Amino acid sequence: MVTEFRFPDIGEGITEGEIVKWHVKVGDIVKEHDIIADVETDKAVAQMPSPVSGTVLKLNFKEGETVKVGDVVVVIGGRGDVLVNEKKDAGTVMGQLPEAEEEEPSKKADLPKKQEEKPGILASPATRKLAKDLGVDIFSVSGTGPGGRITDDDVKNAKGLKVESPTEPMQKMTVVRKFDFFGYVEHVPFKGVRKATAKNMVKSLYTATHVTHMDEADITDLYFVREKERAELRKKGVHLTFLPFILKALVKALKEYPYLNATLDEERQEIILKKYYNIGIAVDIEGGLLVPVVKNVQLKTISELAKEIQELAEKARSRTLDTMDMKGGTFTVTNVGSIGGIFATPIINYPEVAILAMGKIIEKPVVIGGKIGIRKIMPLSLAFDHRVLDGAEAARFTTRLIELLQDPEGLMIE
């Protein structure tokens, strides 16, 4: 039995992927569930398992090429199968390609000699029927589809019929210039995570009404608490950043100001206040940005959050995040300070209604009790959807968040 494995529709708005690496070649024997390829979508790099056991007969795409949902990625056959014996086309996104039933001897005898000796072809049952109805010898038609597949338009062209809009046009030669009027340039494909990020950011920018509120938090006391706890967690292999403390403070502030932990249902004209606290962490990776989500922050300790954040960040950078790792967020944070930024105007992770950017911690002179002291200051930038809440609410929320960050002992109560 021959199986055509098609790139599946896995939902989440994913319509295409890029073959990053093949783990097999034509002629290799694979078992069901063996990893045959790494495929990069706009979410992550996923490992593609073999749907059946058998022999790899054909790889329809090269490494670096883009495959769309429904495209046949690989053809796998059973013992003794060869590609030229392929008879029928699978009709589902991921399905088996059953062997065609043998034609009755009486019908086979009536076939032209040329047709009996000709090896099998790539064409769907509908295309074969069209050729028969038009009186076209399908074995004489050259296929222009993927892998040499014969399309309906190929049959119509062979008959001399006019084709209005080709469904699978032949590729045209494209000239890519290595320089413009002013000098040399480099062409970088706009795809994968970068393309998906751009699409989501444009949707957010032209849907939500963005406003950014900025302030500063004195985290001097938190800095020393974190230093003490970091030494203990380092023994357990956990790197403690300021993020776990910020997440704990965020949950407390969001409980008091629930309109920042919400979404807007425009169709039903409702503001949906979330009673759970799943915080997305923006992670900078090569080629774009991923936002894994820490679930149920309110139920976890500082040390548990530190460990989970570290694990999610590592999975994001190695592109091994599961789809569920990036779903369910109610609020997002991004740390521009880790690369030297101070303030920012972050774009909301739609359909959420707010995002917080932390800036680089700076030592500044601050007047405390009439005396000047050097304090560690963290800049904060809160972008929010003005359709859901007003500036006063955002300012109160930020002020409360600062109060919580300036009371680290309260955050450590677990």
Residues serving a catalytic function are 386
SS (H, E, C) 22-56: ECCCCCCEECCCCEEEEEECCCCEEEEECCCCEEE
Give the closest residue to 230 by CA, choosing from 410, 408, 406: 408
3-class DSSP state of 294: strand
Are the beta carbons of 86 and 97 closer than 8 angstroms? yes
DSSP 97: B
Task: Count CB atoms within 10 A of the CB of residue 407.
Answer: 13
Task: Count CB atoms within 10 A of the CB of residue 139.
Answer: 17
Are the beta carbons of 352 and 193 closer than 8 angstroms? no
Query: In whole angstroms, what is the distance from residue 374 CA to residue 220 CA?
Result: 9
Are the beta carbons of 150 and 141 closer than 8 angstroms? yes
Question: How far is it between the farthest Cα atoms of the chain?
Answer: 107
- DSSP bridge pairs for 215: 380
Place of tokens 């790197």: 239
